[in-house]
Amino acid sequence: SLWLHRNVIIFQQGVMDCKEVLDSIKLRSWKWITSSVPGCSFSYISWYYNPGLCIS
């Protein structure tokens, strides 16, 4: 997510958008953990607002 955003800034004259980067990181990490860890049942909303609580 950081790398993709960096590329947009460099190669497409994009602007830094911290909220967009953070949202992208949260979405990609939620997709990764729910697909690779058996038994993960927390929602994206739960992950978005408190990822630490979901993995504790």
Tens digits of residue pLDDT in 22-46: 999 999 999 999 999 888 888 999 9
Query: What's the confidence (pLDDT) of residue 43?
Result: 93
Q: Is it the case that residue 18 has pLDDT exceeding 80?
A: yes
Among 17, 21, 23, CA closest to 48: 23
Q: Select from 14, 13, 20, 11 the least CA-distant residue to 2.
A: 20
Indicate the pLDDT class of residue 8, thresholds 50, 70 and 90: confident
